[in-house]
Each structure stands twice: as C-alpha cells, then as structure tokens.
Amino acid sequence: MSLEDQLYPLRALYESMPESARRAVGIGWRCLPERLRLGRAYVGFRDLIEESLRWSPERTAEYQREQLYETIRRARRDCPFYRTRLQGDELAELPFITKADLQVHRDAMLSERFGAGSRLYITTGGSTGVPVGFHLQKGVSRPKEQAFLEAQWRRAGYEPGMRLAVIRGQVTDEKADGRIAYLDATRNWLMLSSYHLTAGRLPEYLDAIERFRPDLLHIYPSAALQLAEFLEQQKQTWRTPIRGMLCGSERLNPPQKRLLERVFGCRVYRWYGHSERVILAGEGRESDLFYFWPTYGHVEFGDADAEGFREVIGTSFHNHVMPLIRYRTGDYVKLAEGEAREFPWPAVSEVAGREQEFLIGPGGRRISLTAFNMHDAVFDDLYAVQFFQEEAGVAELRYVAGPDFHGSRLEKIRRVVSRKLGDDFVFEMKAVAETEKTARGKHKWLVSRINY
C-alpha cells in the first residue's frame, strides 16, 4: 500500500498545523521516492497506460474481456449483493445498478475477502446532489486515479513536480474577508479559495497567482470564466504565462473553452470522471472529443433521448473491495459521429453532467455547487440534497431523509455547510418528501430564482 494511502486519515491533522510546520512536512514529503509515496500500484498503472497506448484494437478488446470476467467472477464469488443478481454469463444479460442500490445495499456490495483495513470510505453527491457512499480499495484506487489523470493532463503540458495554482472548492478561511490562499507544501501547489471570488477581491487572486508563477491552472470552469470575465471588463490582459489550464468537474462548452483559451493564451483541457472511479474520459491531444480509457473501466451508453443524449453506464476495473457492475451514473453524453479519432476508443462530443451552478452570496459572490461534492459521511442516509435560493445571501437546504437518518445529525450538517458558505451567508434546513427534478427526471443540486 502507498504511504499516501496510509497517511490519508491524518490529512486533517496536517492541515491544522501552523504554516511553518506544514511547509517543513511538505518539503520532506516531496523528497521521498515516488514509489514510496505513491506505491507500486501507481507505477504499475503508469506502465499499463504507456503500454496500452501502443495496443491494437484486438489487444484492447482482449484486455477488456479479461477485466470484465475477473470483476464479475470476483463479485459473484465474494459479494452477497451480487450472488443472486449475476445469473447471466454475458454483460448485456446482467441487471443495472443505481445510486439507490448504493444507498440501500452498500454493505452487501462489499467483498467478504477484504477487511476494513483495505477499504477507503468515500461519499459524493456527484453531478446530481443525490448523496451516495461507497468504498475504494486502499493502495489501488487512488494511485490508479493519479496515474490516469496525470496521463490525461500530459496532453495539456503537465509533468509531475510542476507548480499548480488550484481553485477547486478549497476553504481557505471561513470569514468573508479572510485569506484567499495557502500553499500545499506536500505538492507545492497554491490552493486558492472558491468562496471569495467577488469582483472586489479578484485582483488579490490575480496578484497571488502572478507571485506564485504556476506552470498550470487547475480550476473549476466557473471560476476560470469569472477570472476571464473580470479581465475583459477591466480591459486587462492575463500576465502570467502558463502551459495549460486543467478544467474538470463542471460542464464547459466549446465556445466557453475557446474564450478561456483566448484570454489565458493556453490550451484548456477538459475531462470527465466521477468519485466512484468507474470510468474516466479525457480530451485528446488536439481534438475536443472525450475518449474513454479502455484500461480504466468498461463503458456502455443507454438509449438516445429526443436530444441525442445517452446515459453513461460503467463497470469498474481493479476495485475488488466494492466492484460496481453496469452502474448507471446519471450523467448523459452525445456520441461522437463522423469526427476523426486520435484513439480507437469510445468517444463522445458532449457531456451533460455537472453544470456551472452557483449559490449567490452577499455582494454577488458566487459559490459553485461543485464544491459541495462532499467526500466524507456528512450526507450519509439522506436520499437527496437540494439548495433553493430566491435572494442573494439566503438559501434553503432541502433534504429527503432515509429511514436511518437521525435528526441529531442536522447540527453537524449545518456546521459543515456553513463553513463552505462563509460567515456572511444565511441558510435554513428543511425536510421535504421529494425534490425538484429536471425534464429527464434527474435530480437537481440547485433550484434558483436568481438571474446571474
């Protein structure tokens, strides 16, 4: 197991240290050999990625068959949930699973061959605001994700050890007038707040980034668009040369991407994935198409709706602690048609997943809903969570409670959400029987009556 996975539970302790202590620990951490920090699995996945780029379509298909067989065989043998469900021999004969299955049958989906020490519990609201909890495999899932993300980012100029400026949901200070940045010394990344992005403070962001001199920006698309809009309104130019901009976790359409590339003078790179680590796709080196990695997981697509969108359905590879087989993600894509391909893999031209949704704080401060994609147990046992807003700085957090949810948990939820909203934001919590849905019947994170 990687040292990073072993020390992951101590992350909060590290972040509570004085800045001088964090810097010392971070410098020491970066001096450790890569194999020790990230583990043998990381090196193995990195080598698999490089090898698979040279495979023929026949070898790729063979690898997928091998991994599907192994995943299904282990699930049928080791997981109580799958023993009665996996009756067929062909993937198409097997039933789908949904987020509701993860909510209701999560413990039965665990492999009986792995103990608690091999599991890493994660929760997410994903793109829909329906909280689900699941388990990753320690020493495998996180190193794998790191290896594949880095492989994708290299198409945009990334190399390990580069300096990144990051705006992706960090809480740097709970106060509305608090600090906007701190240095994550373990990676030498500048972590900038997602919660202080007001017109009055944007010059502070630009100054902090300029002083740090990053190689790349790793940023929510919504935050990047705010910076671009501010620069153009102020008739300013971007003064910090960067190799590229990494934009994931929110939808960024091609016209928005072109705008960012013009303002920041670099390649803007998009990808699609999710916390469950079932499938992963990223843009090519040149094209805007999203290519699904055939060595990461197996992807299927549902029937097309009236607009041509198909649901993404995935089967996980390598996570034997809690395999997900034919998992309906709730995200929708349009298949690529007619475009030249860089890779002979499944490809899509558009992802209709996470939208750029904001809560609006006092003074117009925008708070991306992507930042509420919690990875701990705070929303456990809630079937759905949804923000409702009619007035800037005021919102209602609506929730649908499951049978195991206890009202004593509300105060903890209030504290966690308040920390992300900031001390100038007022919100109330309200239990509801159901939340509003989209026309496709998909849950919405936010119902807003504010134009922004």
Q: Which two tokens stand for residue 102?
A: 């993860």
Mean pLDDT of 171-192: 88
Residue whose C-alpha is closest to residue 1's, from 179, 195, 138: 138
Residue whose C-alpha is closest to residue 46's, from 144, 139, 152, 158: 144
Residue whose C-alpha is closest to residue 380's, from 216, 204, 135: 135
Query: What is the DSSP-derived secondary structure letter of residue 306?
Result: T
pLDDT at residue 125 in the model: 62
Q: How far is CA 388 from the centre of its chain?
A: 23
CA–CA separation, 136 and 119 (whole Å): 6
pLDDT at residue 250 in the model: 79
Task: For residue range 22-59, list pLDDT tens digits in order.
Answer: 889 888 988 888 778 888 899 999 999 999 999 999 99
Task: For residue range 359-369, list pLDDT tens digits in order.
Answer: 888 877 878 77
Q: Which two tokens stand for residue 451?
A: 């134009």
What distance, in Å, lies between the first and last C-alpha atoms of the chain? Answer: 46
Task: Say which residues have a Cβ less than 8 Å from residue 270's Cβ, sequence separation at least 6.
Answer: 247, 248, 252, 257, 282, 283, 288, 290
Locate tokens 């697509």: which residue? 301
Sorted by where each starts, the structural domains of the chain and their CATH numbers stand as 358-448 (3.30.300.30)
| Contact call for residues 119 and 321 (beta carbons, < 8 A) | yes
Task: For residue range 99-111, list pLDDT tens digits in order.
Answer: 889 989 999 999 9
Residue whose C-alpha is closest to residue 111's, from 319, 277, 322: 322
Mean pLDDT of 432-443: 67
Q: Which residues of 100-129 are buried (b: 16+ CB within 10 A; e: fewer)?
A: ebbbebbeebbbeebeeebbbebbbbbbbb
What is the chain's mean pLDDT, rounded?
A: 88
| DSSP string over 224-262 | HHHHHHHHHHTT----S--SEEEE-SS---HHHHHHHHH
| Contact call for residues 276 and 133 (beta carbons, < 8 A) | no
CA–CA separation, 34 and 146 (whole Å): 12
* H helical segments located in 326-441: 410-421
